[in-house]
Structure 1
Amino acid sequence: MSSGRADVTSRPDLAELRETVAVACRVMAERGLVEHVLGHISARLSASELLVRCRGPEESGLAYTTAEDILPVSLDGGGDHGAWAAPNELPIHTELMRRRPAIGAVVHAHPPAVVALSLVGVPPQPIYGAYDIPGARLAADGIPTWDRSSLIRTPALAAEMADALGDRPVLILRGHGLVSVAEGPPRLAVARAVLQAVAVDTLARTTLTVLSSGGVPRPISDEDLAELPDLGSGFTVDTLWRHLCRRLTA
């Protein structure tokens, strides 16, 4: 376990993953999934350690995250990085990674549309199909909601949150935001977890548009849902992630 920032910089094995998490934070900001300085992403390093987006002495928000802000922390919350502090809601990450060893990344974001939809009390539904197949499938399989709006800064609250998530990939936090998790190798899991958050945000924004227009959001038919093809991760993850990363430099 690294115990200081000097130790981090001497670990070249972490460099690529630190940069991946930093880019993912900037993608979330560019997509409007986070505002200002709130939100964080983690990636698993081992059974006992993760990398997480921390706040530094010149904190400027997720849109300006660099690899320097991504630091290792143990699953028991330990790790001294001087002026850099782990997020208050670190228990979100540590509890989920402890419970589900296959998880490679955890995202916590505050998409305004997701917050608003959770307060309206309308559950996410697969109201469209081919427009966003991954999002439709997420909704069809069920996106649970945790009814508490607490800052998840204790193991007890994190345990409640994890119970609400169960084995699902995304959990909506009522009046707070969402948590998205993905399994697999950490770099790929980071992309998947962010893309799931993007899909839920798109679903929430579209649902709110329907509601504000006087419409009633209705799920598509089971027949249409069954016709949606699996486009493969090469398209739904690799290509889309490459696009979102390129937008950062456009």
Structure 2
Amino acid sequence: MTDGVDQLVEAYHALGNAGHGDLVWGHIALRDGSTGGFWMKAAGWGFEEVTRDRLVLLSSEGSVLAGKGPRHVEWPIHAEILRARPEVSAVVHTHAGAAVVFASLATPLRAISHDGVPFATPDVPRFTDTADLIRSSDLGAGLAATLADANGVLIPGHGLVTASATLAEAAMYAVLLDRACANQLRALQAGGPLLWSDASEVAAKQAMWTPASLASGFDYLVRRAHESRR
């Protein structure tokens, strides 16, 4: 297998431990530089169950090139985002609870905490063509177009998708987006939010979310996942 596949396994464990698992659904993909395809887990496994032997390599057209087990039906999410954004190497799709609930409100996401900074200006996009499974290349391409160059996108009635240049960044964006949604849901329950970072402060705060800081957060999630498996 290619370099970085061990980190893909770690990313599954880290996001599973961080509350992004949904039984055997949701998936993370890593671009394979040698084939132009991507690695992801085979269908039927939970995030915490993923091992190297439970990964499959898919072509950009969805053919299984290596590994055992069936592919996820939503492989077009990853194929089309990776096709549309050559700078992206990792794509995350989960059904994180707070993100699903917040997406249903059609409310702008505010930077009421540092978590919201990567998504608040402009507002996190919403893909509304369907809340059903994204089984076709056309739907995958539509999702990629809605995501555009953003860090993440919400799919009302379904979940979230994040994408970035590294697994660490894509995984952390998934965690931060769900946390930002959870924070705003709590504020809404309390009658707010009344205060949040404006566009200029959001721009200034972007400096805190460097590749190094995102990698540090990801490493922490990996350590937590390792500890939980002992």
- Residue 22 and residue 217 in structure 1: after superposition, are their counterparts in 2 closer, same or farther (change >3 A)? farther
Residue 52 (structure 2) pairs with residue 67 (structure 1):
yes
Return the letter of the residue paired with 1:149. A
**Secondary structure in structure 2 of the residue aligned to 1:41:** strand
**In the alignment, which residue of structure 2 is the partner of 1:191?**
168
Query: Is 2:136 the partner of 1:154?
Result: yes
Separation of aligned partners in 1, 2:203 and 2:74 = 38
Distance change in 2, residues 1:227/1:166 (3 Å): closer
Q: Which residue of 1 aligns with 2:164?
A: 182
Post-superposition shift, 1:136? 1.4
Match of 1:103 among 46, 66, 88: 88
**Alignment partner, residue 71 of structure 2:** 86
Give the TM-score normalised by the residue count of structure 1: 0.82
- Tell whether the 8 Å contact from 1:207 to 1:217 is kept in structure 2 after alignment: no
Q: Any conservation in 2 of the 1:42–1:93 contact (CA below 8 Å)? A: yes
Cα 1:206–1:68 shift into 2, 3 Å: same
The corresponding residue for 1:8 is none
- Are residues 1:54 and 2:70 paired? no
Cα pair 1:127 1:217 within 8 Å, conserved: no
* TM superposition shift of 1:155: 1.1
Residue type matched to 1:105 in 2? A
Structure 2 unaligned spans of 5+: none
Local SS of the residue matching 1:245: helix
Letter in 2 for 1:53: K
What residue in structure 2 maps to residue 168 of structure 1?
150
Structure 1 contact 165–171 (Cα < 8 Å) conserved: yes
Q: 1:224 to 1:177 in 2, by over 3 A?
A: same
Asked if the contact 1:211/1:217 (under 8 Å) is kept, the reply is no
Q: Residue 224 of structure 2 aligns with which residue?
A: 247
Q: Give SS of 1:103's match.
A: coil
Read off the aligned partner of 1:144 and give its amino acid letter: P
Question: What is the Cα deviation at residue 104 of structure 1?
Answer: 0.6
**How many residues are matched?**
225
Q: Secondary structure at the match of 1:42?
A: strand
C-alpha change, 1:76 and 1:60, in structure 2 (3 Å) is closer
Q: Give the Cα separation in 1 of the matches to 2:226 and 2:141.
A: 39
Deviation at 1:17, TM superposition (A): 1.9
Superposition CA RMSD, Å: 2.1
Q: Is the 8 A contact 1:50 1:75 kept in 2?
A: yes
Query: Measured at CA, do residues 27 and 216 of structure 1 come closer, stay the same or move farther in structure 2, by a change above 3 Å?
Result: same
